[in-house]
Amino acid sequence: MSRPEALFPLFAELETLEGVGPKTARAMEAAGIRRPADLLFLLPHSAIDRTRRGSVGDVVPPAVATVEVTVGAHYPPRNRGGRYRVDLFDGEEHFQAVWFHAKADYLTRLLPQGEKRLVSGKVEMFDGTTQMVHPDHVLHPDEALNLPLCEPVYPLAAGLTQKGMAKAARSALSRVPEMGEWIDPSVVARERWPDWASALDRLHRPETPEDLSPLTPARQRLSYDELFAHQLTLALARASRQRVRGRASIGDGGLQRRVLAALPYAPTGAQTRAVAEIAADMAAPHRMNRLLQGDVGAGKTLVGFLALLIAVEAGGQGVLMAPTEILARQHLESLAPLAEAAGIRVEVLTGRDKGAERRAKLEALADGRIHVLIGTHAVFQQDVVFHDLRLAIVDEQHRFGVAQRMQLAAKGIADVLVMTATPIPRSLSLASYGDMDVSVLDEKPPGRKPVTTALMATSRLEEVVATLAARIAEGRQAYWVCPLVEDSEVVDYASAESRFAHLRSVMGDTVGLVHARMPAAEKDAAMARFAAGQTRVLVATTVIEVGVNVPNASIMIIERAESFGLAQLHQLRGRVGRGAAQSTCLLLYQAPLSETGRRRLQILRETEDGFRIAEEDLAIRGAGDLIGTAQSGLPRFRIADLERQAGLMALAQSDARALLTRDPDLTGPRGQAARMLLWLLGRDEAIRLLRVG
């Protein structure tokens, strides 16, 4: 499928644009502008109001003013490279235009003494004198119409100028072809959005600086186009995956009933609903691709296990993949009693399995004697062969890369369920996982007591240590989380190693240590001692953030809490409150707190709702930081702003999915227009999917 001919001028060489020579083209390419179409989406970030004023006295310096003046005396610099000054009079005020490193003959031609000129530039006060340093424009009064009343200001990179960018952008705008409308007409009418070309024109040629506000219909429209193209790409990926025939896995419910009967509590409504959604997907003839999002302690593991039982009931096998060995073994421990109740065989396979033991497990897996395998990415290795793999569950998606998900597909897996314990705001969840169906666990299982959250300054550290020692003597267990592993001269954060030494000197060998740089075996051993109650305090870095389950641990102390993200603090707090005892989370902060730091810790004190916390975190930190830009897999948008335009993302998803339902190959009038949009925004992956489809 080749690019529509109408778009050829927008995909031509940059040098075909007015005013762009080889040097400017190279500077543009270095700034990521590779074709005229890119200039359309490089919007001005602000605009300068160049409306004519009666006098420079009408503005409050520093400010831009445009006035007609009579040119007075010239004062060339006494020494080379000094200031060149020209007296100007606007009918009310005397002021000076100033240049540095200017050529005298050029300035005498530009501002002939005694004549009238229109000058526009920034008016400033210097030593009690009103000045305009390096005016932006000096024109003959007859040329006044050439001066834009509102001049757009573009983001610049080395080698580019405002005038050059504005000229190139206008040249690119003149190439915009007639386009059909790709947005649902009812949405355009309801939101009062202009058509695509008019929206671009309004933003590149604003009439007032307010025209560039993110809230204007033109700006909202272009943001929506970008989100719509993104959601259309995800919807095409989803549709193409649904065309791949999967295997229907239909369970008889026998194993699930045994497990539910053995539980000391009834599952929540949210858990029951999620299991029903997963069962319906697994029973369908196409591959499941579902995200299970649950807050800390919402019971994802039970839902995942019941899904694995559907695969076993249907005569197949399941695999549960965790990001670390500690978590893989922990899943095995928590699922062992459930597996026993169901009467199925569950085994763990990690990189530490060697020799005869590994061979025995692989044989049992290949002939179907192991029903459920739990492991790390070691389950991807070539020699791991399943008898009949029906379901793969990936725990904590953002620790698994896209490449590994493709390896999963290559293993011929029928269905995939991704579990994440990080509540993600809806807008980000749609941006990252818009091709997946989503189940949300938004209820806590009965019997989980709320965790008391308190704030305290690090200046009261000794008091905290003394109280902790008393609680430990009563038989309680505690986590003490530090931000860094070892002391750093750059940051004075408490390190895990020095805090461990300090607590050990007070409480003796009941204190253990675990951090990410320890060898895996040492880390596992330290966790095991804490889980068994041999150590009572575990000093740790955020390695314990995900999934560690020690019901007797009821105290969580987080040192330098202000240096952690909100979602991370919420995850850490979720490690306590799992047993019968009332649990406490103490956030130790270094005074004075910044405004953001105070807001973050305050939100944590007010709520245990992970979704509200995630929304607040998004508002405070922004999308990239929230999931960590490098590993977030979040798309980069040029115009849309995920933090401020979250509502548009949901609208774009429903609009894109509805369009594909009505016109799966995008061949109708709206579909053809949508193809133009995909080409314009460089959505090559969507175009490839259309080609394949």
DSSP letter string, 214-261? TTSHHHHHHHHHHHHHHHHHHHHHHHHHHHSB-------SHHHHHHHH
Q: For residue 591, is it within any domain? A: yes
User: Do 494 and 602 share a domain, yes or no?
Assistant: yes
Query: Residue 9, exposed/middle/buried by CB under 10 A (0-12, 13-18, 19+)?
Result: middle
Same domain, 405 and 311: yes
Same domain for 435 and 461, yes or no, is no
Are 496 and 577 contained in the same domain? Answer: yes
Contact in structure between 475 and 483 (CB atoms under 8 Å):
no
Structural domain contains residue 399:
yes
Q: Are residues 596 and 478 in the same domain?
A: yes
* 472 and 423 within one domain: no
For 426-486, give the DSSP string. HHHHHHHHTTSEEEEE-SPPTT-PPPEEEEEEGGGHHHHHHHHHHHHHTT-EEEEE-SBSS
The per-residue pLDDT for 526 is: 87
Own/partner long-range contacts of 141-148 (Cβ < 8 Å, ≥24 apart):
141/68, 141/116, 141/117, 143/118, 144/52, 144/118, 147/50, 147/66, 147/118, 147/120, 148/50, 148/205
Task: Decide: 88 and 94 in contact? Cβ < 8 Å.
Answer: yes
Hunting for tokens 């009821």 — which residue is that? 554
Under 8 Å CB-to-CB from 629, ≥6 apart: which residues? none
Give the chain's largest Cα–Cα span.
102
Are 402 and 510 in the same domain?
A: no
User: Are the CB atoms for 371 and 345 separated by under 8 Å?
Assistant: yes
Flag whether 241 is in a domain.
no
Helix (H, G, I), strand (E, B) or coil at 635: coil
Confidence label for 368 from pLDDT (cuts 50, 70 and 90): very high
Confidence label for 405 from pLDDT (cuts 50, 70 and 90): low
Residue 182 lies in a domain: no
In which domain, by residue range, is 531 found?
452-607
Pick the last residue of a domain from 147, 163, 186: 147
Q: Which has more pLDDT, 570 or 183?
A: 183
Condensed to tens digits (0 to 9), the pLDDT of residues 409-430 reads 566 667 889 888 777 766 666 6
Sheet holding 346-349, edge to edge: 346-349, 372-375, 317-321, 389-395, 415-420, 289-294, 437-441
Supply the CATH number for residue 599's domain. Answer: 3.40.50.300
The CATH number of the domain where 99 resides is what? 2.40.50.140
Identify which of 53-67, 305-319, 592-606, 635-649 has the greatest average pLDDT.
305-319
Query: Where residue 156 falls among pLDDT bands split at 50, 70, 90?
Result: confident
Is residue 594's pLDDT more than 80? yes
Single out the residue in 607, 624, 643 at which a domain terminates. Answer: 607
Domain stop point among 546, 572, 607: 607
Asked if residue 437 and residue 457 are part of one domain, the reply reads no
CA geometry: angle 524, 527, 532, nearest 5 deg: 120
362, 385 Cβ separation under 8 angstroms: yes
In this structure, the chain runs to a length of: 693
- Say yes or no: 361 and 413 in one domain: yes
Residues 435, 488 within the same domain: no
Number of domains in the chain: 3
Residue whose tokens read 């045994």 = 258
Cα separation, 456 vs 162, whole angstroms: 51
Which one is predicted more confidently, 609 or 180? 180
- Residues 342 and 461 both lie in one domain: no
283: left (phi over 0), alpha (psi -120 to 50) or beta: alpha
The answer to the question of residue 165 being in a domain is: no
Same domain, 436 and 462: no
Task: Specify the pTM.
Answer: 0.68
User: Measured between alpha carbons, how far is 84 from 105 in angstroms, rounded to an integer?
Assistant: 12
Give the closest residue to 285 by CA, choosing from 253, 252, 240, 244: 244
22-26, 221-225, 262-266 — which one is most confidently predicted on average? Answer: 221-225
